[in-house]
């Protein structure tokens, strides 16, 4: 019976003005192993069997949905989460990693019956929006949009000089809560604000116009409302700017905050860690580079 291993990257989404549209894969990974078995499905974490109902597991749900749609017969699955470095409910695409990992594993077991577009469309349907699942599948930074039931995407070149610093707190912010705080309607000037920033962000990245990035990461659609759910966010963004960051944004729906650097990385990391250590909650700081491969089946 078939057995596959899949590595899936973390993702940061929205990236300021690109609400539900922009996302980027990062070199922080989960890894799963999926095997067909002739008994009921079993879920493991580092070879330790979990007793929870497997039907609630998002990896299993994604595999089952994929196989059922392709009418692929299976009796049971052994799902082993070998590596789980992506923090849960921190705005780094942990649910997308489960979905993309499950679909990719199922497709490999079935003999790669699905096209890349099929994988992306199904992953978006399960997740609800494409900004995390598309870069998790493809790697790199990606613009994604929905056209009917299909997802169209375009990859963005990221200047190699840019580094991304994730500041990850011990507390979570649920995606459901982060969407509840958003208004139902927006002023025309706020829409124009975000459209202009999104357009210039892509151009500034292509042209390595780093001096414009701070303006380009501006947002009036989600960050003004979500920052109140993330304690110390304003103070951390202010300190990041003081230490030389060229832009900051909330990663996904939070609670992770992201700073963008083009120089003095070591000095920033040291000084920001000292700042974060003085806050009441535990904050972890990680220097992350873009992942350019996306979900990868181990050879």
Residue 92 marked in a binding site: yes
The Cβ of residue 184 has, within 10 Å, a number of other Cβ atoms equal to: 4
Residue 255 marked in a binding site: no
Residue 89 marked in a binding site: yes
**In contact, 169 and 231? CB cutoff 8 Å:** yes
Report residue 186: phi and psi, to 5°. Answer: -130, 150
Strand (E) positions, 207-277? 247-250, 257-261
Residue 203 marked in a binding site: no
User: Can you tell me the distance from the alpha carbon of 294 to that of 119, in angstroms, rounded to the nearest whole number?
Assistant: 13
Residue 169 marked in a binding site: no
Question: Residue 258 contacts by C-beta under 8 Å, 6 or more apart in sequence?
Answer: 12, 15, 164, 165, 166, 167, 248, 249, 250, 251
Q: Nearest-CA neighbor of 11 among 22, 215, 173? A: 22
Residue 97 marked in a binding site: yes
Residue 93 marked in a binding site: yes
Tokens of 27: 């070199």
Residue 87 marked in a binding site: yes
Residue 240 marked in a binding site: no
Residue 88 marked in a binding site: yes
Query: Which residues are annotated binding-site positions?
Result: 87-97
Annotated binding site for ATP: 87-97
């Amino acid at each position: 019976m078939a057995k596959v291993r899949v590595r899936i990257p973390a993702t940061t989404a929205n990236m300021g003005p690109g609400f539900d549209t922009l996302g980027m894969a990062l070199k922080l990974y989960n890894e799963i192993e999926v095997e067909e078995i002739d008994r009921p499905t079993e879920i493991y974490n580092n070879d330790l069997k979990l007793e929870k109902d497997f039907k609630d597991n998002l990896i299993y749900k994604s595999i089952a949905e994929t196989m059922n749609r392709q009418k692929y017969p299976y009796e049971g699955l052994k799902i082993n989460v070998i590596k789980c470095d992506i923090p849960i409910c921190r705005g780094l695409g942990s649910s997308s990693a489960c979905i993309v990992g499950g679909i990719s594993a199922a497709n490999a077991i079935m003999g790669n019956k699905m096209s890349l577009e099929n994988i992306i469309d199904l992953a978006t349907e399960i997740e609800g929006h494409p900004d995390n699942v598309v870069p998790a599948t493809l790697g790199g930074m990606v613009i994604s949009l929905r056209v009917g039931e299909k997802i169209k995407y375009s990859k963005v070149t990221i200047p190699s000089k840019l580094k991304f610093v994730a500041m990850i707190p011990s507390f979570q912010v649920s995606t459901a809560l982060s969407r509840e705080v958003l208004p139902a309607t927006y002023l025309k000037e706020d829409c124009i604000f975000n459209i202009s920033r999104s357009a210039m962000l892509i151009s500034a990245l292509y042209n390595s116009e780093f001096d414009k990035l701070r303006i380009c990461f501006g947002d009036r659609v989600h960050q003004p409302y979500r920052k109140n759910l993330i304690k110390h966010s304003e103070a951390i963004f202010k300190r990041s700017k003081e230490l030389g960051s060229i832009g900051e944004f909330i990663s996904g729906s939070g609670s992770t905050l992201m700073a963008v650097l083009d120089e003095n990385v070591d000095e920033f990391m040291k000084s920001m860690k000292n700042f974060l250590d003085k806050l009441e909650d535990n904050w972890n700081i990680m220097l992350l580079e873009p992942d350019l491969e996306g979900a990868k089946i181990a050879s």
